[in-house]
Amino acid sequence: MLTAGAAHAPRTRLIVNADDFGISPAVTAGSLEAHGAGTVSSTSMLVNCPGWDDACRRARATPTLGVGLHLNLLVGAPIVPGVTLVNRRTGRFLSLGAMVRRALAGQLDASEVEAECEEQIRAIESIGVQLTHIDSHRHTHALPVVRRAVARVAQRRGLPLRRPVETHRRFPNDIVSQLHRGVIGWSWRATTIGAATTRAPEHFIGVSMQGGERFESQMTQVLDHLPAGSVEMMVHPGRVDAALESVDAYTWQRERELTALLSPAVRERLRAADVRLIHFGDL
């Protein structure tokens, strides 16, 4: 028999996580604007990006925001010297395409990935921020070799690791999104054997909403049909500045996402009794 408290418990514990905190000052500002509006509860922070110094200051000043590591294996250069993660001519990280090719060919050194992940965690901890989780820029932690290395770090540190597997039942006619979800999901499942066991919310949502054009209507539709249990919703709010444009092609879309996250409809929906906003530290 349900108690009175259980009868009124929220059906869904929702983490709205803003990726790319620190990629540029304007993106960080947008994430914090959404957090202030009560629609973003968590963020994932990039190390050694154009917005790093600004992000450090802002993360320390916002203790109500859960902060995780957005493992960076694509922008700039690694903290730990290595060979397999970088372009040997430039010493900078590989492009995503080159990273995927090396991962599939078994040409990445797991020890380099693990060491880089640990050093990026230490960089954030050194500014006085306690991490709540790990995920990665462009889902590189779902790649062969990378998955096992990052899972070892997550397990050792007791941190949840994003499980980027999303149902195909959501927006079934969006072919580009379906392909994107399919590739990420296939890679995650294929790399599960032999990987350390890690924690994650029961459900993941986010790839299906990326693109910007219909973000607000898609988000409100998703919020009206959230599964029960714990859910991570990945978003990418932000403003656009020159620093962002120098390292990432996802620009104006971030402003569309921010507009949605600041909208009265989304704010009101997230205040409904059937949803409780949490961050990864609450799992």
Residue-wise pLDDT for 159-188, tens only, equals 999 999 999 998 988 999 999 999 999 999
The pLDDT of residue 71: 98
- The domain defined by 10-282 folds into TIM Barrel (3.20.20)
* Spatial distance between the Cα atoms of 75 and 84, rounded to a whole number of angstroms: 15
CA dihedral 249, 103, 123, 15 (to 10 degrees): 70
Is residue 119 pLDDT above 90, yes or no? yes
- pLDDT tens for residues 46-81? 999 999 999 999 999 999 999 999 999 999 999 999
pLDDT band at 212 (very low <50, low <70, confident <90, very high): confident
Q: Is the pTM of this model over 0.85?
A: yes
Domain segments of the chain: what residues?
Answer: 10-282
- pLDDT tens for residues 246-279? 999 999 999 999 999 999 999 999 999 899 999 9
H-run or E-run covering 68: strand 66-71
Q: Rounded mean pLDDT of the chain?
A: 95
> Which ranges in the chain belong to alpha helices (H)?
4-7, 25-36, 52-60, 96-104, 110-125, 146-157, 175-190, 215-223, 242-245, 252-261, 264-270
Q: Which two tokens stand for residue 69?
A: 């590591």
List CB contacts of 91: < 8 A, sequence separation 6 or more. Answer: 77
Neighbours of 90 (CB within 10 A): 9
